Structure formats: structure tokens, C-alpha cells
A and B are shown apart, each in its own frame.
Chain A
Amino acid sequence: MDFAIEAQDLRKTYPGGVEAVRGIDFEVAAGEVFGLLGPNGAGKSTTVGMLTTTIEPTSGSARLAGFDVAREPLSARAVSSVVFQEAVVDRSLSGRRNLEIHARLWDVETREAVARIDELAATLGLVELLDRAVEGYSGGERRRLEIARALVSYPRVLFLDEPTVGLDPRIRAELLDVIAGLRSRSELTVLLTTHYLDEAERLCDRVAIMHSGRIVALDTPRALLAGLGRELVEMRVEGNVESALASLRERGVAGEDAFAVGSRLTVPLHDRSSREAMAAVHELGLAVAISAREPTLDDVYLRLTGDSLAAAA
């Protein structure tokens, strides 16, 4: 199989000994949308930095469309584009000029670039804005421009580094539609970093959950959620949480995948119904508050790391 992105034992230790990425391995197939999910400081942006050749790996290797990022950086950069976490644009230039500069530097033939810019502007709703200075754009408009810029050069690999951070909910929803639209063709491989669960669930074929520089889980969102059963029961207990968990396991209500964080106890349900499980908990008199719901990727993260994604972000 041809992989668009390959990372093998990729590590980054910054001067001072900070281990931002501690040896990660993953492959992304051509056409796949792959998510790196984790809170701030998990190592997502450092990973993107190494893949886009702006951060030098301490050890390990990575390839983009077969090009080694350390040995063939120009070739690796030629097949990829990045949409950065912060606005990275020439604000005093027009949107069109920003796109033209990208096209020229990525060696897109002039006539082709003109047509491509018009096409992307129409698709991303930028036609009216394109000849205005970027400093007059709203946050969402600037983001769309940056996505258009990244696509001007027909990249094989597109990096979206926290593309919706700092945007208001309406603009964020619009932008998610745009990013979802990138999936409509199979040729483009997308690596998306985010700490928003809904983005990862909605957009990604597979998700790698990062924690403290390591990948702690990697699978499809569905498979990751399936590991926690169809439903789970969440309760707050008074007193010793560990002994409450042991009691539930003894009674067969909780399995080995049940976990406790602080005073909160989460019990994935595989065979039982939530009604049965909640009745058993009531019988034991363990919980002061109890509820049942479908599992989310936050539960997956919580179980693997003992920390909530939302809280960590």
C-alpha cells in the first residue's frame, strides 16, 4: 500500500530536555483524513512541524508521499501544504495576491494558477473578497482564504493544524463544512490536529489520540467508541471510589474497562442495559448522582489518560 504519510519512531526533544514527542509511529493512506487528537501540549503541533520540515526531529523518520522529510525536504514540501493554527498571511496584500504567491512558489503554471484561484474562490465563497486587502477580512474569511491558498498547489498532503481554534461557533460550523468538502475526492490526504472531539468524530477516517508526546490509541472513531460499549453509566460516588469500583466489579456490573477519575466513576456497558446497571448501583447505595449516555471520544481519552480532553485543552 502507498502511504501518503509515514512516521517511524518520530521523536522531538527540545533544548532543556522537554520531550514534546516521544517516539510515535503511524501511517496514513492516500486519500485518508487522519486526526491527531489531544489537548494542548500533547505533541500534535510538534508532529506537524516535523512533517512540514519546520521542526527538526531528534530521531526517527517521516515521509510524505515517499519523500523523506529530513533528506528530501524540498520534495516533501512540494507535495504538501499547511493551514496553520494562527493566521499566517500577508495582511496588507489582497487575498488574490496571497494565493498567487503560493502558486508561484509551488511552481503552479501561471494560467493554471489563475483558473485554480478563481475556482477555489468560487467554491469557498471568496469571490467578492479576493481583491480586497486581507486585513479587512473576518476571522472565518481569513481561514477560508488560508484553506484556498493551501489547495492552490494541488497538494497530495494537506495539514490542518487546529483550523477552527478561536473561531465563533457559526464560523466554525461553516468551516467544518468546508473541511468536510475536502473529503469528496479521494486523492487528497488530510492530517488534521484538533482538541475538539466533534471535529475528529465528524471529519476523520481514523484518529490517533496523543497524550504527553505519545500515541495512546489509534483507530477509527467508531472502533475507539466501540471499545466502550454501546452505552455507559457515569456516577459520582462518595467515599472511596476504588472500593466502589471493586464492589461493582464483584457484582458483575462493571468490567475491567470501568475507570475512575476523581469522584467520578464510568462503567462501559457491553451486555447489560443501562437500566439494569443503574438499578444495581442504586441497590448498592454507592452513587450520589448517576446517569447513562452514549460514549464519546472524551471517554476514550479519559480512560486512557485519566484526564478529560476538554479539561486538558
Chain B
Amino acid sequence: MTSIDLALPLARPAATRSLGPLATLARRRFQLTARTPRELVVPLLTPIMFALVIAPALKTALHTAASYESFVAIGTVGLLIPLNTMFSGLSVIVDRTSGAQRELLTAPIPRGLLVLGNLLVALAITALQVGVLIAVAVARGIHFQTTARGIAWFSGTALLFTVGMYGMAEILAQRVPRQEEYIARVPAIAILPWFLAGALFPITALPIFLRWVTKFLPLTHTLAVLRYGLRGDPSGLQAIWHLSSPAEMAGLSLAVVACFALLLTVVSIRVFSRSAVS
């Protein structure tokens, strides 16, 4: 008969630490993601095609200025982030239906850490993908006019928008039982707003009613600050705020994106923690 040395089971104190488990959860998620290359590559395909093929083609066809390519290249960041975070959310469903999520729910850690661990990996992968997109655009000859401060605006906004979109993906993943249903909802969340938020053209080109609607989309604010940061172009911010100071308008839009990120993160942790207990 098999005999197992159980040693002395000591009373371990309740886990008050969180950085260690968070790092463990993030590393686990990263390892799982790295074994699913589609999660890394697929979200990149459409934005790269937009930036490198469609934007130059539109520039030629519509006889627009060369700066239109950089306008669209940054606009495609607004597609890449939602697509990537939605793909990350898909892995939450896989984890729940055929992975180790139930084991993790019995771990002596606050359950919100599971969401934050996934979020860290979504952020890292998104940063990598955005970096690749910009690098490929530069290599293709698309010109960006930026400064260190501009890069800070760009990075901070992209980060906050990713956090918010991941929160949305996590909420959706908790609300729908199957991958098929999740995927069916992705276009409405990741793609539809992209067409309205000024990714391919300024929102001033939209009818007045739609222009007002787009001002309530976090993506509109995100794209406006991203362009301000990487092209030094405040026109998107002016179309939203109608103020004279670009930095002030960028701050306001950044605040909108930060509120979006905070709200969605809090709600996603709450939804996850509730759905973990029946």
C-alpha cells in the first residue's frame, strides 16, 4: 500500500501577502498564453493590415496628405487594444470550463488577485503588440512627430484604456457561459466603437448627433490623447473639448479614460468574486 509522509500540518497564517500570489498568477497566465500563439499573433493581424495596407491605399485613393498614414496608424492602436483584451478574456472562459480556475478559487488568496494577474499579462502583451505595430509603421516609413512628454501621454493613455477594456472583457467572460457566445459579442464591443471614435477620420466629419455620441466613448478620448502624444496633433482633443490649452484637454480626456479604467476594474473584480461563489 502506498504510504505518504504528510509531515506535520502546521497552521499556516491566513494569506495577507498579495504580491507573491499576484506574481505567481501572472506568471501562470503568461505561460498559458505563451502556449497559445494565436493569442499573441491574431489580434495584431487586422491592425497591421490597416496601418500598412489600407491607410496608404486610402491616402492614394483619396489624395490625402502623408500625415494621414500616421493618423490611421495611431487609430489602429484603438483597434488593437480592444481586440487583444477581448482575446485575453476568452482565456478566462477556457480557464473556467477546462482549466484550473476552480483550484485557484480554493486558494487562500483574495479572489480579485486572479483578475489582476490576468490583467498584468494582458497589459504586457498589449504593450508588446502596440510596440510592434508602431515599430512596423516606422519601418514602413510612416512618420511620427513626438517628444518624451508625448510618449508619456501616449503610454499612460494606452495603459489606462487597456486596463478598462480588460475589465470589460473580464465582465463579459463572467456573464456568458460559452466561448461561442463570447465571440459573437466581440464585434459590438471591440470593432463598432472603433468606426465611430475617430480612428479613420476626425469625429468632426460625423453628423452632429453622432459627434455627441462619440464624445461619450472612452475610445474617442483615448485616440485623441494618443494622437496628441505621438503626432503632437491636438485636433481630436479640440473636437471634443473646444478649449484652447492642449495639455488641459489631454488631461481631461486622460481623466475620462482613467475613470473608465477604474470603474471597469472595480466592477470586473466584483463580478468575478461574486460569480466565483454560487
Please list the residues of chain A having a beta carbon within 8 angstroms of any beta carbon in chain B.
Answer: 14, 49, 52-56, 65, 72, 74-75, 77-82, 84, 88-93, 97-98, 101-102, 104-107, 119-120, 123-124, 149, 151, 153-156, 177-178, 180-182, 184-185, 187-188
Contacts and interface: CB of A to CB of B under 8 A. Distances in A.
Nearest to A14: B278
B2 A124 contact: yes
A292 B8 CA distance: 47
B278 A188 contact: no
B149 interface: no
Interface hub of B5, B6, B36 (most chain A Cβ within 10 A): B6
A107 B103 contact: no
Contacts of B175: none
Given A56-B278, A91-B98, A97-B31, 19 more contacts: A49-B278, A55-B277, A74-B15, A74-B108, A79-B12, A91-B99, A93-B31, A93-B32, A101-B28, A104-B20, A104-B21, A105-B107, A107-B15, A107-B17, A119-B5, A154-B9, A184-B4, A185-B5, A185-B6
B65 interface: no
Nearest to A72: B14
B62 interface: no
B15 A80 contact: no
B11 A65 contact: yes
Contacts of A107: 12, 15, 17, 20, 108
Contacts of B178: none
Contacts of A178: 2, 4
Given A77-B107, A154-B7, A54 B14 contact: no
B1 A177 contact: yes
A120 B110 contact: no
Nearest to B29: A90
Interface in B3-55: 3-15, 17, 20-21, 24-25, 28, 31-32, 35-36
A-B pairs with lowest CB-CB distance, top 9: A181-B2, A78-B108, A105-B107, A75-B14, A77-B108, A104-B24, A74-B14, A92-B35, A185-B6
B266 interface: no
Nearest to A78: B108
A182 B2 CA distance: 8
B151 interface: no
28 contacts: A52-B106, A54-B102, A55-B278, A79-B9, A79-B11, A79-B12, A88-B99, A89-B99, A92-B32, A93-B31, A97-B31, A102-B107, A104-B24, A105-B24, A105-B25, A106-B108, A107-B12, A120-B4, A154-B7, A155-B9, A177-B2, A178-B2, A180-B2, A181-B1, A181-B2, A182-B4, A184-B4, A187-B8
B102 A101 contact: no
B136 interface: no
B276 interface: yes
A152 B25 CA distance: 17
Nearest to B105: A54
A60 to B, nearest CB: 16
Nearest to A184: B3
Interface of B: 1-15, 17, 20-21, 24-25, 28, 31-32, 35-36, 98-110, 276-278
Nearest to A82: B106
A302 B101 CA distance: 37
A154 B278 contact: no
Given A52-B106, A187-B9, A90 B28 contact: yes
B17 A84 contact: no
A151 B17 CA distance: 22
Given A56-B277, A105-B24, A105-B104, A187 B110 contact: no
A228 to B, nearest CB: 29
A266 to B, nearest CB: 34
A229 to B, nearest CB: 31
Nearest to B101: A88
A84 B99 CA distance: 12
Given A82-B106, A105-B107, A89 B100 contact: yes
Given A65-B11, A78-B14, A123 B6 contact: no
B100 A90 contact: yes
Given A123-B3, A149-B103, A182-B4, A106 B31 contact: no
